[in-house]
Structure 1
Amino acid sequence: MKRKTSEKPVCCWDMPQKREAKFVAREVSTSCRMCRRQFGTIHSREHHEEQDHHFTASKKAQMSTGFPPGNILEYRTPQELQAFVQEKLRPISGPVSIVCAVEIEAIISVIKEYFPLPVTRLIKGGLYIKGTDTQVWSEVDIVLFSEAFENLDDCKKKLPEVIDDLGKRLKKSSWASRITMKKRTQFSLRFNFKCCKNLHSHSFDIMPCYEMLGPAPSTSLKWSFYHKLYLCHDADKIQLYTMSLLPYQVEFIKESTVQVKDLMRLVKYWFRTSFAMPTEQNRFRRLPSSYAIELITVYIWQLAGKPIFFSLVQGMRAILKLLVQYSEICIIWYKHYSPHCTTFKKVLKKQTRKPFINRGADQQGVLLCGCTSVLDHAVEAAAGDFYRIRPFVLDPANPTFNVCENSNAWDEVAHVARRSLLKPLFNGVPSKKPWLFTNSW
C-alpha cells in the first residue's frame, strides 16, 4: 500500500519564535488563548474564555482539530507506521549524516572563535544534540560561558552588547552566505545555518552566560545552586541560572534508546499534523513544548519497563491515552534531586496549590499516574495539604520548572488525542505486553 502523508509547511508548534521561554515557564498556562490576558488560575482563565470570547466546548473542538487527508492516523498496520518513521522522520543517515556532523562542529568552532569574550566553557543542546531531530526540523543550542562576566548581574547587563557584537562578526565572516539571521531574543542570538550543500538547515540558538556550576559540580555545589535558584525571584536571572542545567537535560533524553527517540519524533509529528492552525481569534494558543513531549515519552517507556524493542503503535497509543487524562499527570524523577532535601521540599511545595493524593512512586522516583500505593513520605512532607498544578511534569534537571506550564491548551490536546484514538491506526487494537497498564486508563 502506498503511504501518503501531508505535513504542513509552516506550523506554529514549537517553532523558534515561539520558544522565548526556553528554560522557565512564564505563566503561559493561565494566559488567555484569545487575548493573552493573565489570570490567577486555569479555571478563571477558561471561565473568561467562555464568557468573554464565547469559547465553548463545541467551538474549542472545532478550532483545535485539523487532521489532513492521508494523515498517519489513517494507516492500517504497524508496519506502515514503522516504515514512515524510518523513511520520513529519521534524519538521513550515511555520508550526508557524516558531512552534517562535520559542518555542525565547524560552525560551532566559528561561533567560539568570533565570540567577543574569552570562552571558558561551551555546552551544547537542542534536538540535534539529543538525537531527536527529524529530516525537516533540527535545532542546536549553544551556551558560551565566559569569565569576563563578573557575576549574574554583570552578565545580564552586558548580554545585549555581546549578542549584537557576535551577530555583526558572523555576518562579516566567510560563513555569512550560509547564515540567515533571525530576530534575536533578550538572551540569545538566533539564526538558521544551511548545511550539506543547502540540502537542509539547522536552527541555532547562541546564549552567552556567567558560569555558575562548572563541568563537574559536587553534590553540595549543585544543591547550593538549586537553593539560589529557588530564592531567585527575577525572571531574567532565573533564565540565566537554568542555562547551566542544559547538559543534564540533554543527558536525560540521550540515554533513551533509538526506538524511544523514534516514538518522540512520531508524537511530535502528530502534534504538527493533527491540530488546526491558530486563527486570529486564538492566536495566543500555545501547545506543549517539544521538551515536554520528550519527557512524557520517556515516562511512558519507563512505565512499560524500558523495553528495547516495542510496537510504535502501542507506544503512541499509550501516550495518547495518557494525554486524554492530562489532569492526572504527575511525574517527578529523582536522578538529580533528593526527596529528603529541604530545598527540594520547599520547591515542590511552592509549585503546588491544593490538597492532592499521590498515585505512587517507582524505584526511580517517578510519581506514577494511575497507581494506588500510598504517598511517599518525603513528597508528602514537601507538598503538605496542597494540590499540584495539573498536568505536572518536573524537569529532571531543574526542580523549579514544571514543563507543562508552558502550554495553555491541554484541554485541546486531550480532545485531539481522544479523536485520534478513534482513527483506523488504533481502532480495535488491543493493548499488548508490556503496555497492558494502559487498560485502566
Structure 2
Amino acid sequence: MGNGESQLSSVPAQKLGWFIQEYLKPYEECQTLIDEMVNTICDVLQEPEQFPLVQGVAIGGSYGRKTVLRGNSDGTLVLFFSDLKQFQDQKRSQRDILDKTGDKLKFCLFTKWMENNFEIQKSLDGFTIQVFTKNQRISFEVLAAFNALSLNDNPSPWIYRELKRSLDKTNASPGEFAVCFTELQQKFFDNRPGKLKDLILLIKHWHQQCQKKIKNLPSLSPYALELLTVYAWEQGCRKDDFDIAEGVRTVLKLIKCQEQLCVYWMVNYNFEDETIRNILLHQLQSARPVILDPVDPTNNVSGDKICWQWLKKEAQTWLTSPNLDNELPAPSWNVLPAPLFTTPGHLLDKFIKEFLQPNKCFLEQIDSAVNIICTFLKENCFRQSTAKIQIVRGGSTAKGTALKTGSDADLVVFHNSLKSYTSQKNERHKIVKEIHEQLKAFWREKEEELEVSFEPPKWKAPRVLSFSLKSKVLNESVSFDVLPAFNALGQLSSGSTPSPEVYAGLIDLYKSSDLPGGEFSTCFTVLQRNFIRSRPTKLKDLIRLVKHWYKECERKLKPKGSLPPKYALELLTIYAWEQGSGVPDFDTAEGFRTVLELVTQYQQLCIFWKVNYNFEDETVRKFLLSQLQKTRPVILDPAEPTGDVGGGDRWCWHLLAKEAKEWLSSPCFKDGTGNPIPPWKVPTMQTPGSCGARIHPIVNEMFSSRSHRILNNNSKRNF
C-alpha cells in the first residue's frame, strides 16, 4: 500500500521515470477494479427511482483528474441536487439530505456487492466513501452542489458574474463555490499527456515526503502543485514526450521563486467581461504566491505561505542533490514565475532585468559557441577549395536585443562564388550542403567535445543550415542559422551608407521577377545589425519586452494564423521611441503602451527610414513611392527597401491587434498608485514630405490623398 519509501534525492535523474512506474502509479488491475466500483456508485446515484433529487454526478479530486498515487489517494463525488437552484443555496446545511443519501446508497450497494470493497462513513458535513482493493484505497468526499453548468461545457460570463454576486451576497469565502465547476476541472486535465501526469505524481509524492519530514507543516492542497506542474509544462515544453528530470527541476525552481509566483489560465474565463476582469485584476495584484483555479477566478488555491517557505528549502535540497544535479548543465525548461501581464508599470524595468536581460554568463556562452563555429567555417569547412569567405554575425545577440530564455546566433557567410543576387538564389543550396557535410565530418572528429543536431531543411533547395551545438564548455545548447549570401555591400566602411546603385540593381531584379520582398535581406545583415545595435540600452530593453510579449501572443495565436515577423515589432518599437521620446532614459511603461497602441492601429501604419536609402536617386525614389502606397501596414526594412515587414494583408495583424487591445487593461499600464499610464503621441503614418524628402508638393499631396483612400478602403474591408 506504500507509495515507495525510497527518498527521491537518492533516485538518479535518469531513473525517475522508472521510479514512477515502480512505486507511484497504481497497479493496473487495482485501477480497473476501482474504476468499475466508482462507475457503479455513480450509476446507482443517478437512478431516479432511488435518488430523484440527484440531477447528476461529477467526479473530482485526484481521482477525477487521473493523478492518483499508489496506495492511499483522494477523490470527490459532487452530487448536483435539483433543489439547489443557485450558488447561495449551497450555504444552507446539506447534512440531512446527504445523511439520507448515504444511508440509501449503502443499502443499494450492499445489494450489488457482497464483498467488502467499500465503506461509507458519516462526517461532519455529510459522508465519505472508501473504495479499496488489496493495494489501493480511494477516499471520496461526497458533496452537494448547485449545477451551475447545467448542460453547457463552456461557462458563459453570466455564470461568473452570478458567482461574484452570490459570494458578495452571502459573504462566502472566495472559491467556496468552486465545487460547482468540478466537471471543468476534470476537463482541464483530461487532454494532458500521460507523461505530464507521471510528473505530477512525482511532485505530489515529493510533497508527501516533505510533510512527513516536517512536523506540523501547514497543509498545501495537492491541486496547487498539480496546477503548478501543468503551468511549467505548458510554458516550457508542451511535448508529449519529455525528460522527467527537466520537468522536476523546472517545478522546483518555480517553487523557489514562490515570492514572485503568479499562475493563471484563460481557458474558461478572460478579461473581456468587466466583472470578471475586475476579479482577475484584484487576484493578480494580491500577495504572491498566486495560483488561480482555471475554472473559478475567485479561487486562489496557493494556500498557506508558511508551507511554501518550507517547500522552498526542500526544493533547494533536491535541486542540488548529486543525483538530480548530475550533469553540467542540469537542464530545465525556461519558465518565468510570473507573466508579464500581471506586472505593474513601475516594475517593468525590474521585470526586464530579472527575467529578460541575458546575464554575462549567457553572453559568454553565445560568444564561445560562435567562436567554435566561426573557427570551423574559416579553418576547416572550405580547406579543400580555394573559396574565400567573410562571416558577419546577425540576429538578436549581435543586435544586443537577445532574450535570456533563448540561445541563438545567426551567421551570414559571404562566399566569393556568390557574385550577384541571382547567383545567391541559384547557388546557395550547394554551399549549405557543403557546410552541412563538412560540419558532420568535423563533429565526428570532435564527438567527445561537441554534440551537434541538425534540423531538417524546410525546402528542397535550402537557403539556411539550422543546427544546435552543445559543448563541454557550454552550459546549454545554442541554436545556429548559417546563411550563405552575396556580399552586395562590398567593403563598406563603418558609418557610411551604400551607393544607390546597390539598391537600383536589387530593385530592377525584384520588379522583373516573382521573388518576394526581402528575399536578399541577408546581404544587408550588417546594416540591419547596426541600425539596432547603436540604439540606447533602455530602448533595446524595451525591444526585449515587446519581443517577450510577442512570444506570449505567438504561443496563443499561432494555430489561428500567420503572425507578422518579430522584426516588424522591433522596428515598430524603434519608430515609437524616435517619434514619441527620443531620449536615452524614458518611462518603459509609456513606451510599451505606445507600441501596443500602434499595433491596434495597424491599418494606418506607414513607416520607413532614410538612413541607408532615400528619395534622391530616381530609381529608388519611384520604387519607394510605390512601396509606400501599398496596403497598410507598411513597415519598410531600413536596410533594404524591397522588404516590407508590415506586409499589408500578408499576415494576420488583426489577431495581434486584438491581443494588444486586451493587454491595454493590464496592470502594466498602471503606475504605483493605480493611475493609468499614457502613451506617447506618435503619428501612425509618414509621408515623404513629412520626412523632409525633396518631392514636388503635388506628388506629396497625391501620396497623402491615396494613403487616406487606402485607409478608408481598409476600414470598409475590415468592418
Confirm or deny that 1:9 pairs with 2:236.
yes
1:163 corresponds in structure 2 to 432
Q: Bigger CA drift: 231-240 or 207-216? A: 231-240
Task: Provide the rounded CA distance (Å) in 1 between the counterparts of 2:618 and 2:237.
Answer: 46
Q: Is the 8 A contact 1:71 1:273 kept in 2?
A: no
Confirm or deny that 1:222 pairs with 2:495.
no
2:465 corresponds in structure 1 to 189
Structural mapping, 1:367-382, within 5 Å: none
SS in 2 for 1:249: helix
Letter in 2 for 1:183: P
- Where relative contact order (Cα < 8 A, 6+ residues apart) is larger, the structure is 1
1:364 corresponds in structure 2 to none
Normalised TM-score (structure 1): 0.69
Distance 1:388 1:111, change over 3 A: same
Confirm or deny that 1:137 pairs with 2:410.
no
Deviation at 1:165, TM superposition (A): 1.9
Task: Provide the rounded CA distance (Å) in 2 between the counterparts of 1:341 and 1:325.
Answer: 32
Size of the aligned set, in residue pairs, is 344
Q: Which has the higher strand share?
A: 2
Distance 1:84 1:431, change over 3 A: closer
Deviation at 1:127, TM superposition (A): 0.9
Q: Is the 8 A contact 2:366 2:407 kept in 1?
A: no
Task: Provide the rounded CA distance (Å) in 1 between the counterparts of 2:545 and 2:349.
Answer: 10
Task: Provide the rounded CA distance (Å) in 2 between the counterparts of 1:260 and 1:431.
Answer: 18
- Identity %, equivalent residues: 25
1:251 corresponds in structure 2 to 530
Confirm or deny that 1:91 pairs with 2:358.
yes
Letter in 2 for 1:163: V
1:72 corresponds in structure 2 to 340
Deviation at 1:137, TM superposition (A): 1.6
Which of residues 595, 617, 624 is equivalent to 1:319?
595
Q: Is the 8 A contact 1:90 1:135 kept in 2?
A: yes
Letter in 1 for 2:370: I
Letter in 1 for 2:550: F
Which of residues 224, 248, 265 is equivalent to 2:544?
265
Q: Is the 8 A contact 2:543 2:573 kept in 1?
A: yes
Kindly provide the CA deviation profile for residues 360-412 of structure 1, in whole angstroms up to 9, marking residues without a partner as x.
xxxxxxxxxxxxxxxxxxxxxxxxxxx43211111111111111118511111
2:441 corresponds in structure 1 to 172
1:414 corresponds in structure 2 to 657
Task: Provide the rounded CA distance (Å) in 2 between the counterparts of 1:219 and 1:99.
Answer: 32
2:369 corresponds in structure 1 to 103
Kindly provide the CA deviation profile for residues 301-353 of structure 1, in whole angstroms up to 9, marking residues without a partner as x.
1113322112221111111111111112111111112223212222123325x
Deviation at 1:247, TM superposition (A): 0.4
Structure 2 unaligned blocks of 5 or more:
1-227, 239-271, 273-283, 285-290, 293-337, 686-719
Distance 1:419 1:266, change over 3 A: same
Q: Is the 8 A contact 2:407 2:478 kept in 1?
A: yes
1:289 corresponds in structure 2 to 565
Letter in 1 for 2:341: L
SS in 2 for 1:8: helix
Confirm or deny that 1:405 pairs with 2:647.
yes
Distance 1:219 1:100, change over 3 A: closer
1:209 corresponds in structure 2 to 485
Q: Bigger CA drift: 269-278 or 67-76? A: 67-76
Distance 1:325 1:196, change over 3 A: farther
Task: Provide the rounded CA distance (Å) in 2 between the counterparts of 1:239 and 1:440.
Answer: 23
Q: Is the 8 A contact 1:145 1:208 kept in 2?
A: yes
Q: Is the 8 A contact 1:96 1:196 kept in 2?
A: no
Task: Provide the rounded CA distance (Å) in 1 between the counterparts of 2:638 and 2:550.
Answer: 23
Structural mapping, 1:341-380, within 5 Å: 341-352=617-628
Normalised TM-score (structure 2): 0.44
Distance 1:86 1:115, change over 3 A: same
Q: Bigger CA drift: 105-114 or 319-328? A: 105-114
Structure 1 unaligned blocks of 5 or more:
12-60, 62-66, 353-386
1:27 corresponds in structure 2 to none
Distance 1:167 1:76, change over 3 A: same
Task: Provide the rounded CA distance (Å) in 2 between the counterparts of 1:100 and 1:414.
Answer: 34
Kindly provide the CA deviation profile for residues 236-290 of structure 1, in whole angstroms up to 9, marking residues without a partner as x.
697664322110011001011111111111111112224553576x3xx221212
SS in 2 for 1:142: strand
Kindly provide the CA deviation profile for residues 176-221 of structure 1, in whole angstroms up to 9, marking residues without a partner as x.
5332211235211111223674533332111223333202179897
Distance 1:201 1:134, change over 3 A: farther
